[in-house]
Amino acid sequence: MTERRARWKFFTLSAMAGIVSGAVFLAAAELLALLVARGASPILAVGSFVIDIVPQPFKEFAIATFGEYDKIALLAGLGLAVVIASAIAGILQFVRPPLGVIALVIAGALSTAAIVTRAGVTPLAFLPPVVGTVAGSVVLILLCRRLRAWRSSSATVTATTDAAPGRNVDRRRFLVLAAISGASAVIVGISARAVSMATSSVEAVRGALRLPAPKSTVTVPAGAELDIPGLSPLFTPNKDFYRVDTALTVPTIDPDTWRLVIDGMVDRRIELSFADLLDMGLDEYAITLTCVSNEVGGELLGNAMWLGVPLRDILRMAGPQSGADMVLSKSVDGYTASTPLSALTDDGLDAILAVGMNGDPLPLEHGFPVRMVVPGLYGYVSATKWLTELKVTTFAKDEAYWTPRGYSAEAPIKFSSRVDTPKIGKPVAAGRIPLAGVAWAQSVGIQSVEVSIDDGDWLPATLSTPINSDTWVQWFMEWDATPGTHYVAVRAINKNGDLQIEERAPIAPNGSSGWQRSLISVT
């Protein structure tokens, strides 16, 4: 073996030693987090920190590219970064000790800082990354020490051309330690994370929860849903409802311990339990939610039947003071949203604290046990999930999570329309086919939808019977499709007589706009 090949061989082995040590770091931290502080996983804490600091353009790119899998993509990226950083630490420790250990300690300090600065941190949350750093450092020192011994014995053999019993022993010691440490790290780390997820009792509590029957129900009129293949259903199933939030892992909250605090510029500080909410009596509400990240023609919106309590009744108990114009809602994970106080106290708007969704308790990923639902406002300023606090304040005094990140403090929804079928990129057969989709103008309602084919005249579409002004409506139009490619454009008019905005605008700072124009291929 040439000297160059030997050098690359030991560099590769030292990188492997670093990766094994990094795995030990994470496994030890996950195990201790399982025992003393479940929210103290270094990789999850760093991931949450990245979500908080990522610039707005990167956030838009992630949502547009990965959709609801954006957090999986982030974790995969972090995992790759950990592998690369650990490999570098291993090489540094092998070449210039103790630089590798110093790098590991720095990583431990950064992860500790990310953990202890998160919302809802527990007193022992610092222990998992500290113990993980110590365990990873010890393994890195031992592996690199045995690797250097292997290299020394190999060099001696090369110089003397004698037999190499010492080299074989050193090699075996390194490989055995690396194999045992690596395998143990994988088993312990994966098992600890799996147990942490499996032993959460909140899902079982949710499954056993029976919400009381509502005092009032929503009447779904005949003709509210059009029976057209490819058209979005009137109510979006919970499993298909879009999810966009800043939580890297879904918070798990026991409704028996959940509390909502209403304070700030109020006459009385109020604290409510989950049972208090249920005792107020629940009502049914059909409301469409829209995410500010929804592009023209996008799918980041959904319609659901919610079960909840009017927010105006909750705020009335606290007594908002004169001069207040905003409610800063807060999630258990620290996320905040700024909602105009008027939108929550208006008797004509059904802003609610929701506890049920499409006949079931809220799914965990959609805010169990309590979330906000406010018609007419984008979710980032209204639809706080895992709600824990309502602070009555002013826009001049407080700002919410997304405001300093390039988004407007107030964000009324820009009404819009969408083509659901035919789908872009899926050719259809020539003949008479339906063009169909949905249109929405929460809190105002849709008056009409018009369709243009190949820049021709705008033709009226047929609308489904609306449930109310807070839900989307379905629309359709029969089209005699001829072979070739065709442009289909759609626009809506709301009940105020306003025409949907034609000019294109990006999602920041307050939502996209523009008419959807789809290229349809007919064979």
* 238-405 and 416-522 share one fold: no
Residue 193 has pLDDT above 70, yes or no: yes
Least confident of 148-157, 219-228, 448-457: 148-157
Laid out side by side, the sheet with 431-440 consists of 416-421, 431-440, 473-481, 462-463
Model confidence at 243, in pLDDT bands (50, 70, 90)?
Answer: very high
DSSP 507: S
Percent of the chain at pLDDT exceeding 90: 76
Least confident of 175-179, 324-328, 353-357: 175-179
Residue 229: closest CA among 418, 422, 417, 419: 422
Angle in degrees, CA 461, 466, 470, rounded to 5: 115
Q: What is the pLDDT of residue 31?
A: 92
Bigger pLDDT: 357 vs 71: 357
Mean pLDDT over 510-517 rounds to 96
Q: What is the pLDDT of residue 60?
A: 76
d(CA 92, CA 14): 8
Bigger pLDDT: 1 vs 376: 376
Kindly list the domain boundaries of the chain, sorted by start residue.
3-198, 238-405, 416-522
Q: What is the pLDDT of residue 463?
A: 98
| Token duo for residue 346 | 């208006």
Q: What is the pLDDT of residue 162?
A: 52
d(CA 300, CA 293): 7
pLDDT tens-digit series, residues 361-386: 999 999 999 999 999 999 999 999 99
Least confident of 33-47, 179-193, 401-415: 33-47
Least confident of 160-169, 393-402, 485-494, 508-517: 160-169
Are 416 and 515 within 8 A, CB to CB? no
Residue 515: closest CA among 411, 418, 414: 418
Bigger pLDDT: 481 vs 1: 481
Residue 201 has pLDDT above 80, yes or no: no
Q: Rounded to 5 degrees, what are φ and ψ at 474?
A: -95, 155
Mean pLDDT over 189-206 rounds to 79
Model confidence at 67, in pLDDT bands (50, 70, 90)?
Answer: confident
Q: Rounded to 5 degrees, what are φ and ψ at 293?
A: -80, 0
d(CA 165, CA 137): 29
Residue 310: closest CA among 268, 278, 354, 274: 354
Q: Rounded to 5 degrees, what are φ and ψ at 460?
A: -75, 140
Q: What is the pLDDT of residue 198?
A: 62
- In whole angstroms, how far apart are CA 447 and each of 37, 387, 414, 439, 441? 53, 34, 15, 10, 9
Residue 82: closest CA among 142, 20, 39: 20
Q: What is the pLDDT of residue 69?
A: 80
Is the whole-model pTM more than 0.85? no
With the CA atoms of 86, 50, 135 and 249 taken in that order, what torsion angle do they form, in degrees rounded to the nearest 10?
A: -120
| Token duo for residue 56 | 């707005």
Q: What is the pLDDT of residue 345?
A: 96
Mean pLDDT over 14-28 rounds to 95
Q: What is the pLDDT of residue 499?
A: 98
Q: What is the pLDDT of residue 170?
A: 82
Mean pLDDT over 403-428 rounds to 93
pLDDT tens-digit series, residues 485-494: 999 999 999 9
pLDDT tens-digit series, residues 435-449: 999 999 999 999 999
Bigger pLDDT: 40 vs 177: 177
Bigger pLDDT: 350 vs 169: 350
Q: What is the CATH number of domain 416-522?
A: 2.60.40.650
Are 143 and 181 within 8 A, CB to CB? yes
Residue 39 has pLDDT above 90, yes or no: no
Percent of the chain at pLDDT exceeding 70: 96
d(CA 186, CA 179): 11
User: Helix H segments across 96-164?
Assistant: 99-116, 127-160
Mean pLDDT over 415-419 rounds to 97
Matching CATH number, 238-405, of 3.40.50.850, 3.40.190.10, 3.90.420.10, 3.50.50.60: 3.90.420.10
Residue 171: closest CA among 9, 20, 21, 24: 9
Residue 35 has pLDDT above 80, yes or no: yes
Q: What is the pLDDT of residue 54?
A: 79
> How high is the mean pLDDT of the chain?
92
Mean pLDDT over 299-309 rounds to 97
| Token duo for residue 416 | 């819009």
Model confidence at 458, in pLDDT bands (50, 70, 90)?
Answer: very high
- In whole angstroms, how far apart are CA 406 and each of 112, 296, 401? 29, 20, 10
